[in-house]
Structure 1
């Protein structure tokens, strides 16, 4: 079900069977590395309809997040709804990429930060307020987590000016943070996500590391990079993987988990949405811009999810949504941090 990843270097070679890097010196694909691949919860039609997982599936998701820092829920979102959004976001991605050095690129110009248009036409609660995602995140973070970040990461096809390049392995929690779970990213790929089109490389279990494993300061475009010695030790203990994520899946990932965007060798833009649910006690002040018409629908979910939003006229949303910053410019830290060392 999942494709494996071998260690990365700067030069990429194509193979009809798999994508590999020019260096092949570690991470074998034997059964001993099976622990590198995420656990999958196969959502049933009944679970999708009710918006709740069975107790056993919720337990599996919860335990996977604590052990691995990531879990996949397959068959969680209707394909037609993803198609509608993808038709808008692919042209938008090309518009952003055309800005070159001024584009909101993340580490390299083959991966850009891209916000979806939060208007009535493109907003769908099955995508952005998925009840199965909320069921999982609230079981880990506590009731009524906070939604204060909504964006996306788009992997672009290579060009002569932007050849295939992997991001450095990094953590999005590029600041001193609690040792307990405090933020979960809900990723939604709009199409099948594979090694061919740049599925994300993940290092399962690394959400248990802190700032000591990182280099680069918060706010820098390349902050949160994992130090080489930490990478080498972790590669020996539990190597990374580049899993296939099926269309209709949602991925719940601990914000602290090491990961890295990979090159898109295909001819198509690959968009993956990213919504962050913070623990209810975690005081992150960010807000999301929504069209005023969405206010009633967003207020309905308040008993299950605290949506931190600013409501604006639709025209203003459409004028502003492609002017967002690159990923590391956002601040995922909290206000009034406790002065404790754990």
Structure 2
């Protein structure tokens, strides 16, 4: 299995050092951090994690439907991995420059790529556009959805800086309608109250690409196998058992992709390394599923894509001649729900 070399933050083109990038409110040599690092080195990672070759579509789909996620090796070539890593580093530098105390927008030292853009997406960047038409990935997604006619919701992802010492609570990226928050997302509702979105076929997939090796110490995502259809309450950090905290998708080599059902329980983990860990993504809706969509790519860029990538992004392309506001911002304007007429 080909593994692209990792890039430390100390060697990034911007010259940003790890002590400038992270570790703003904890010392990497703090006794509690040292104990946690040793614990993770010895115990972190899903036991028996299966990493599937891209050509083994049937096995990939079987694991995905069983566990709610699957890891595919060599989704990206070494060259593509390098391009994606450099693009992530450039965006990371811009976002972190807005946040001197590293408070993040997903918790301390944690950031959303999409949630740090005025468009709520990074699809305007060529590195994310590169991910749209991968022969190693798209056939697996089509098999999961039972059709190649799925569509792109956004290009986002997240990153955590060294010094992200806290666990992010377990959560799901989609749920039934939430009338209190008046969100345009998570809008599924059965008026008879008989079924939940968890009873449906997978409506929404996230492709989490790995531009660096995923290790026991650099903040691998924890994933709870088989939770995509569970109606049990998601445990809080205080109630979460230790095995769940250690149920992380690692080790996994750079260039891999994790394909996950967004209903499955997952969460961020401590990054106790000396480098930023990034997981850029594409978010995809099943052909039969819709929620509000926002433009993330200009018409000019859209025309330069392959015909299939154009089809995938058909609902997130801006009008001809329209410009996109691609400013980096830690907290973009929240989405709103139109009031009933």
Distance 1:120 1:167, change over 3 A: closer
Match of 1:208 in 2: 229
**1:84-103 → structure 2 map (5 Å cutoff):** 84-100=83-99
CA deviations over 1:125-184 (Å, ceiling 9, x no partner): 3x23323322112212231112112102011122xxxx5111111111243524221111
| Distance across 1 between alignment mates of 2:52 and 2:141 | 14
> Which structure: greater strand fraction?
1
**1:68-83 → structure 2 map (5 Å cutoff):** 68-83=67-82
Match of 1:6 in 2: none
The structure 1 residue matched to 2:199, chosen from 176, 179, 192, is 179
**Do 1:113 and 1:325's aligned partners in 2 also have CA atoms closer than 8 Å?**
no
| Distance across 1 between alignment mates of 2:62 and 2:199 | 17
Note if 1:246 corresponds to 2:253: yes
Distance 1:242 1:118, change over 3 A: closer
Match of 1:65 in 2: 64
Match of 1:150 in 2: 155
**Do 1:141 and 1:183's aligned partners in 2 also have CA atoms closer than 8 Å?**
no
| Distance across 1 between alignment mates of 2:105 and 2:156 | 13
SS in structure 1 of the partner of residue 301 of structure 2: helix
The structure 1 residue matched to 2:217, chosen from 189, 196, 219, is 196
Q: Which piece of structure 1 moves more, 96-105 or 289-298?
A: 96-105
Deviation at 1:104, TM superposition (A): 9.0
| Distance across 2 between alignment mates of 1:283 and 1:96 | 30
Match of 2:301 in 1: 294
TM-score, normalising length from structure 1?
A: 0.68
CA deviations over 1:249-274 (Å, ceiling 9, x no partner): 11101101111111222222221112
| Distance across 2 between alignment mates of 1:109 and 1:288 | 29
CA deviations over 1:212-241 (Å, ceiling 9, x no partner): 524xxxxxxxxxxx3479844x959x9723
Note if 1:42 corresponds to 2:58: no
Distance 1:304 1:62, change over 3 A: farther
Match of 2:182 in 1: none
| Distance across 1 between alignment mates of 2:136 and 2:65 | 18
SS in structure 2 of the partner of residue 294 of structure 1: helix
Q: Which runs of 5+ in 2 are unaligned?
A: 2-31, 115-120, 178-196
Distance 1:85 1:132, change over 3 A: closer
Note if 1:110 corresponds to 2:109: yes
SS in structure 1 of the partner of residue 326 of structure 2: helix
**Do 1:120 and 1:293's aligned partners in 2 also have CA atoms closer than 8 Å?**
no
Match of 1:272 in 2: 279
Matched residue count? 280
Deviation at 1:188, TM superposition (A): 0.4
Distance 1:307 1:135, change over 3 A: farther
TM-score, normalising length from structure 2?
A: 0.68
CA deviations over 1:160-211 (Å, ceiling 9, x no partner): xxx511111111124352422111110101111212211111111111213x
Q: Which runs of 5+ in 1 are unaligned?
A: 2-10, 22-27, 44-52, 215-225, 334-342
**Do 2:151 and 2:311's aligned partners in 1 also have CA atoms closer than 8 Å?**
no
Deviation at 1:309, TM superposition (A): 1.4
Moved over 6 A (4+): 101-104, 312-315
| Distance across 1 between alignment mates of 2:60 and 2:108 | 34
**Do 1:114 and 1:154's aligned partners in 2 also have CA atoms closer than 8 Å?**
yes
SS in structure 2 of the partner of residue 175 of structure 1: coil
**Do 1:148 and 1:307's aligned partners in 2 also have CA atoms closer than 8 Å?**
no
Distance 1:272 1:330, change over 3 A: farther
Match of 2:166 in 1: 165
**Do 1:73 and 1:251's aligned partners in 2 also have CA atoms closer than 8 Å?**
yes
